[in-house]
Every structure is written in structure tokens, then in C-alpha cells.
Structure 1
């Protein structure tokens, strides 16, 4: 009986599911470039359309949170998805990627993160703990990085969504 109890405990320890955290990271959609001196431009018409396409892409993906930098173009890219999911957009500091408080707040959740051509791959690298991805090209507004964490295992992939 004692051996059976030990075997049952060992079996149950293997049956426990590990927590999964999934991050979807995108760069903001196309911005208005008509005023080169504007450091915080709105999206242009193509960008507005792309933001709506992102909302459509995420329609059947359950999201627990939407994060964005505090720039018009990232907020405007995130807004249609946040509206669809009935979520508010939470701001993050692009100078503090994958900070401990962010990790704690998003643990076990599925999260969309909207950033920039340099911060999006840098955020992925911070999550992975290695420099795997370079900055995105300035005309790349359709790459989606997906990072899945299960226990201590981290897997990242890029999907082109055009």
C-alpha cells in the first residue's frame, strides 16, 4: 500500500500542468510621415486600416491584456483590438522592457504588446534572455512575434501578417 501511495504521488506530480504565458508583440501600424519634425505622429490611412486588420487577426485569440507605449501611433494601433476585447490599453515604459512588475502582472496570461521597430524585437529578446532578433526595418508593420513560456521553456516565432 505504501508503494502504491508513493507511485500515485509521483504520477500526480507529473500530471500537474505548468503555467503558460503568451506574448504577442507587434510594431505600430503605418504612421503619418508628412511632417518630419513631428515625433509623435498619428497613424495614416494605411495604418488605420492595418490597426483594424490586427483587431480582426486577434478576434478569436483570447487576450487578457493589451500593452502599448505612450505614443499616438502605438495607442492607435492597439485601440481597435482593445475595443474588441473590452480591455483598456495599459502603458509600458520602452526603457524598462520585461521589468519584474510587468512579468508578475502578465504571468499566466495572454498579452498583446504594441511597440516600435527597435523596442518590439528588444522586448522579445528581453523575454527570451538572449539577443536573438535585430531591429525591424522601418517599412515592416506586419510582423508578429509570438513568445510562449511554459515553465522554464521559452519559444519564439515570427509570423508575417500582411
Structure 2
């Protein structure tokens, strides 16, 4: 009887732990750099996307088509907002502007907890944002000629899993 009671308590405890881990919120971030920007005017700090950039922005929406996106974040530049637009339209997700110099703020963490978000940034801020979430400097600045990096960061419980893909 004592053994049966102990076994029952163990199984109920194990079941509760298993249910807790199954119901843990998963937070997923998809980080991309803005698409190709117009470089004809070196003094223009807020250029439009090139034809290739507009095509890449459309392609990002296709790449993410099977992912349910809750939020799309963009820094407040034409090239990042226009990279985000096809994703927003395809997903019917809101566009939220973030300060690319303030990364992973508590307000951002709370808003995105348990959600799936796309963050459109820059060659320097995108890997820095990923590194901030990871708590380590794993990724370097993206080369200025590279626009196809996709960083995926997933948080569940105390575990953080990250991947970097190149999609051209």
C-alpha cells in the first residue's frame, strides 16, 4: 500500500511537471536585415529599396508564409518599413516601430512573450539584437553586401535556441 501510494504521488508529480513544460510559452523571433537599398546618393541616410530590394521583401513574405506572425517590428527607416510591408500584408500583422539603439528592452520582452515576431533591422543592429537576447556575442555585423541572413531565436522556459540561415 505504501509503495502504491508513493508510486501514485510520483506519477502525479511527474505528470504535473510534464504538463507544465508542455504549456510553457514559446517566444520566437525572426530577425532579418532590410532588403537592398538605393546607394546612388551617398548623402541620403534614409534611402528607398532598389528593384532587387523590393523583390527580396516580397520573397521574405513567401519564406515566412507558413509561420503565424503576431508582430512585425521595424526600425523607423524607409528601407526597413518597406522590407516589412509584404510580411505585414501577407500576415495581417501590425507594424510596430522600435528604436534600433534600444534592444531587448523589458517592454519589448513582455509584449513578445509567447508570441512570434519578425524584427527588421540593419547590418549592425540585427546581429547585436540577436546577441543581446542570447546573452553572448555569437554573431558579427552583417557584411554590407549581404541581405539574405535570417536569424531565428526561440525561447522556452530557460532554454534559448538559435539558428542562422542564408536565403538568397
- Give 1:97 deviation, angstroms: 0.4
Runs of 4+ in 1 over 4 A off after TM superposition: none
Q: Return the TM-score normalized by structure 1.
A: 0.96
Q: Return the TM-score normalized by structure 2.
A: 0.92
- Kept in 1: contact 2:30–2:118 (CA 8 A): yes
Query: Structure 2 stretches of 5 or more lacking a match?
Result: none
Query: Structure 1 stretches of 5 or more lacking a match?
Result: none
State the structure with more CA Rg. 2
Report the number of matched residues: 162
3-state SS of paired residue (1:15): helix
Structure 1 range deviating more: 86-95 or 97-106: 86-95
**1:7 counterpart (1, 6, 11):** 11
Distance in 1 separating the partners of 2:9 and 2:29: 39
- In the alignment, what sits opposite 2:84? 78
CA-based RMSD: 1.2
- Give 1:9 deviation, angstroms: 2.7
- Give 1:2 deviation, angstroms: 4.5
